[in-house]
Chains A and B, each alone.
Chain A
Amino acid sequence: MNLARNFVENFPCFSIVLCMVAGILSTPIKGNHAKRITLLVVILVTCMSAATFLYVASTGTSFVYTMGKYPAPWGNEIRAGVLETMLATVFSLVMLFSLLGGMDHVFKDIPEEKINLYFILVDLLLSSLLAIIYTNDLFTGYVFVEINTIAACGMIMIRKIGRSLVAATRYMVMSLIGSGLFLIGLAMLYDITGHLLMENAHLVMNQLVQEGKYSVPLLVIISFITVGLAIKSGLYPFHSWMPDAYGYSTVSSSSILSSLVSKSYIILLIKIFYRVIGFDNIVNSKIVDVLFVFGLAGMVMGSVGAIMAKDIYRMIAFSSVAQIGYVYMGIGLETEAGMVAAIFHILTHAITKSLLFLAAKGLNNVSGRKRVFYALQGSAFRNPLAGVAFLVGSLSMVGIPMLSGFISKLLFATAALGAAREKVLITLIVLAVSTILNAIYFLHTVVRIYTPVHVPEEFKNVHVRVSKGAALAVFSLICMNFILGLLSQPITDLIQVGIAMFA
C-alpha cells in the first residue's frame, strides 16, 4: 500500500541528508566551491521544504517517514506536518538570505584556508535545524542538538579575534550545561516510559499521569528538559553569552545564530510539550508559569540592556534577549492562542533580526567600521539600502502596523486577554512597557542614522559597493517582513492547523 507513497514525502529526509553530504564533500575543496555548493544546497532545501509544505497543506494531514526499513518504535522516523514544513521553509530562506547578505564579510573575516570549513559548519547547522524541526524521536532530537551546538560554537569562533573566542567559550559552557540537563531529562524519561519515540512515549506518559505513578521523576524530567532548552535558547537570566556571541562573530553567523539557532531549541521544546508530555500535563506541572515569569523579566531586562548598550551590535543582541522573552511569555500564557502568537513571533523574529544584523553591518561599513552610535550618525545617507533595511527592521520590532512585528504584538495582546485571570493585566502592562522600551532604543538609533552630518574627510572617498547578492537578500527580507505583516491571517490559520496536527 505504501508503494503509492508520494515522492514528495521523501523530501524532508532528502534535505537533511543532502546537507550532511554537502558538508562532508566540502572538506577537501576550496572556499569558493564550498560556497557554491552550500548556496545550491540551501536553495534546494528551500524548494524541497516548500514543496513538502504545499503537499501537506493540500492533503491536510501530517505524514510519518521511517528512516530505514523498521517501523515506529524500533527504528527512527521523522514526521512532517504543516507547521514543521512551514518552519523548515522559512528557516532555510532566512539561512539563504543571511548567507547571501554576509557573504562578502565571510570572505573578509575568515582566513582564506578556513573558508571551506565555515561552509561545512553552515551545511551541518542547516541539517541539524531541519532534523530538530522534523524529528519524531527524542534521541534523534538530542543528537542533532549536539551538532547544532558544536556548529554554532564553531561559527562564532572562526573569526578568531579575542572577543569572539571568549564569546565562543562562554557560549559553549552555557550551551553544554543546557545539553547536559536536557540529556539527563531524556534519560529519565526513557527510564519511566521505555520509549524514545514521541507518540509511544506520550501514550505511556498519559497512562502514568492517570495512574499517578512516578510523579516525582516526572516533575524533575519536565523541569530539566525545559530548563535545559531554555538555557540553550537564551532565556533571560541565562542570556549572558548572547551579546558577545552575536556582536563579535561574522555577520552571517550572528544573523543565523540569533534568528535560527536559538529558535530551533524553542521549537523542540514546544514539540516535546505537545507531543511527548502533553500540554495539559505541562500546565498542571506549573513549569509554564516559571517560563512566563522569566519571559516577562526578559522582555523588560533585555530592553533595558539594549538601551544601555553602547554599540549597535550589542543593542541588537540585547533586543534578541527581549524577543526570546516574548516567545516564552507566549508559551507561558497556557492557551493555544498564546502558543500561536509565540510561534508567529518566532517567524517574525527570525526574519527581522537577520535583517537588522545585515543592515547594521551595512551601516557599520560606511562609518569606518566603528560600532559606536556617534560614528553611525548620518550613515543611512551613505548607505541608503542599509538605512531603509534598518528602518523597516526597527519599525517591525517596535510594532508598527503593516509589519510583522505589529501582528505578533497584536496576537500576544489578544492571547493575553484569553489567559488565566491573574496573567491578563501583568502581561498587558509588561507588553506595553516593553514596547515603549523597544521604541526608545530602536528609534533613537533610527534618528541617529538619519541625522545629516558633515561627512568627515576620511569617509569622503569611501565607495559603498553593495554586492547584488547582499542587496537581494536585504530586499527579500524586507519583503518577507511585509508579507508576514499583511497576510497574517492565513499564516496564523496555518499555525493553528499545525498545532492541531501535533496532537
Chain B
Amino acid sequence: MSRIRDNYEDSLWNRLTKWVNGESDPFAGKMEMEPLREADYVGDSVYNPERLDKKKVLKYLEDTEKNQEIRAFRVLYNLSSVALCLLLIAVLLMAVSYLPVLGDPNGPNNNEVSARYVEKGMEESGAVNMVTNMILSYRGFDTFGETCVLFIAATCVIILLRKSEEEIENAKETDWKYEPKPDAILQKITLILVPVIFLYGFYIILNGHLSPGGGFSGGATVGAGLILYVTTFGFHKTQRFFNEKTYDMVKVGALSLYSVTMIYYFYTGANLIENHIPLGTPGDILSSGMILPINIFVGLEVACTMYAFFALFRRGGM
C-alpha cells in the first residue's frame, strides 16, 4: 500500500528521525566551524611556529637561574618601572589638585575664546552644533591635520599588513580564516541590521551640524556596518561592491575634495576675500556652509579607514 517517496531522503520526517537517532547534524554546513588542523595531530617533530613553546625559548635565551646578571637586571628593571609609574601618578595627582576646579565660571578657561564659540558660533559658522562649529570651522586646520593623522595611520597599516594578491591566493587552504562559513542565523540578522546601521551612520554624518555627531562618529558607524557585513558574507561577496579600487577612489576623492575646500577656506579667510559658500538658515539640513560637505568627506574617509583596518588585519587586503 504504502510506498517510499522519491524524495524520501529530503523529507522532514526522515531528517527528524535521523536527528533523533543522532545520525546527522542539522547545523552541518550552515554554521561557521573551525576545521581540525592537521598540525594538531602531528608530533613535536613537525615544526609549527604556533605551537612553539615560548617559555622554553625564553628559558633557553635568558636562563635566569644560571645567569644572575640577567636576573638582577630584570628585577631592577621591573622595580624601577613600577617606581617610575608610581612617581608619575603621584606627580600628576598632586598637580591636578592644584588645577582650577572644573566648571568654575571664573576659571581661566571660561574666557573670551569659549564665549565667542558659544555666543556667536551659530551666527558665524551656521551650525547649531557648537562642537562641530568649533572643530570644523574655527579650528578647521587642526581637524584637517587630524584627518591626515587617520590617513597616514591607514597608510602605515597598509605598509605593514598588505599582502600581494598571490600571497592571498596561496593562502587558500587556510581560507576558513578569511572567509566565514555561511551561517543562517547570522546572515538573516545581518541582512536586517546592516541597512539600519548604514542609515543611522549616514544620519549621524548628515546631521552633524544639527545634532551631536558628525563625520568621525558617523563614519565609524558606517565602517562598523561594513565590518559586520564582511564578517557574515565574506570578502568575496563584499568585493562586488567594495574592493581596493573603490576604497582608493572613495578615500582619495573625499580627501582631495576636503583639501580643496580647506584651501579655499584658508585662502579666502586669510586674504579677506568674500567666501562664496552660503551659510543658509541655521537648523536646516542644507545649511552651515562648508561644514556639511566636510562632514560628508570626513565620514567617507573614516568609514573607509575603519573597514580597511579590519580587512588588513583579517586578510591582508581588501
Selecting from B5-13, B62-70, B148-156, the interface stretch reads B148-156
| B178 at the binding interface (Cβ < 8 Å) | no
Within 8 A of B (CB), among A197-249: 204, 214, 216-217, 220-221
Q: A74-B117, A117-B155, A192-B99 known; A28 and B252 CB under 8 Å?
A: yes
Contact A191 B100 (CB under 8 A): yes
| B43 at the binding interface (Cβ < 8 Å) | no
| B271: A residues at CB distance < 8 A | 2-3, 5, 10
Q: A17-B266, A28-B249, A74-B116 known; A124 and B152 CB under 8 Å?
A: yes
Q: A21-B259, A150-B152, A150-B153 known; A194 and B141 CB under 8 Å?
A: no
A 72-98 to B, binary, CB cutoff 8 A, 1 in contact else 0: 011110000000000000000000000
Docked complex Cα distance between A330 and B12 (Å) = 87
Contact B139 A76 (CB under 8 A): yes
Contact A28 B159 (CB under 8 A): no
| A414: B residues at CB distance < 8 A | none
Nearest residue (CB) in A for B256 is A24
Tell me how many residues of B have a C-beta within 8 Å of chain A.
56
Docked complex Cα distance between A65 and B271 (Å) = 9
Within 8 A of A (CB), among B141-171: 141-142, 144-146, 148-149, 151-153, 155-156, 158-160, 162, 164
Within 8 A of A (CB), among B87-110: 91-92, 94-95, 98-100, 107-110
| A458 at the binding interface (Cβ < 8 Å) | no
| A332: B residues at CB distance < 8 A | none
Closest Cβ of chain A to B36, distance in Å, is: 32
Contact B111 A194 (CB under 8 A): yes
Closest Cβ of chain B to A85, distance in Å, is: 17
| A435 at the binding interface (Cβ < 8 Å) | no
Closest Cβ of chain B to A74, distance in Å, is: 5
Closest Cβ of chain A to B78, distance in Å, is: 17
Q: B113's contact among A17, A66, A73, by CB below 8 Å, is which?
A: A73
Closest Cβ of chain A to B148, distance in Å, is: 6
| A293 at the binding interface (Cβ < 8 Å) | no
Docked complex Cα distance between A207 and B294 (Å) = 39
Contact B108 A188 (CB under 8 A): no
Contact B95 A216 (CB under 8 A): yes
Q: B155's contact among A21, A121, A194, by CB below 8 Å, is which?
A: A121
| B252: A residues at CB distance < 8 A | 24-25, 27-28
Contact A217 B95 (CB under 8 A): yes
Chain A contact residues: over half helix, strand or loop, or mixed? helix
Contact A216 B98 (CB under 8 A): yes
Contact A24 B113 (CB under 8 A): no
A 52-77 to B, binary, CB cutoff 8 A, 1 in contact else 0: 00000000000001111110011110
| B200 at the binding interface (Cβ < 8 Å) | no
Q: A25-B252, A192-B99 known; A150 and B269 CB under 8 Å?
A: no
Contact A76 B256 (CB under 8 A): no
Nearest residue (CB) in B for A73 is B113
Contact B251 A27 (CB under 8 A): yes
Contact A67 B140 (CB under 8 A): yes
Contact A65 B270 (CB under 8 A): yes
| A333 at the binding interface (Cβ < 8 Å) | no
| A144 at the binding interface (Cβ < 8 Å) | yes
Sorted nearest first, the 4 A-B pairs with minimum C-beta distance are: A69-B269, A143-B145, A194-B109, A76-B141
**Can you give 19 A-B contacts (C-beta < 8 A)?**
A10-B271, A17-B263, A21-B263, A23-B148, A24-B256, A24-B259, A67-B270, A68-B141, A69-B269, A75-B269, A76-B139, A113-B164, A139-B139, A153-B156, A191-B99, A191-B108, A192-B100, A193-B108, A194-B109
- List chain B positions with a Cβ less than 8 A from chain A: 91-92, 94-95, 98-100, 107-113, 116-117, 124, 137-142, 144-146, 148-149, 151-153, 155-156, 158-160, 162, 164, 248-249, 251-252, 255-256, 259, 262-263, 265-272, 275
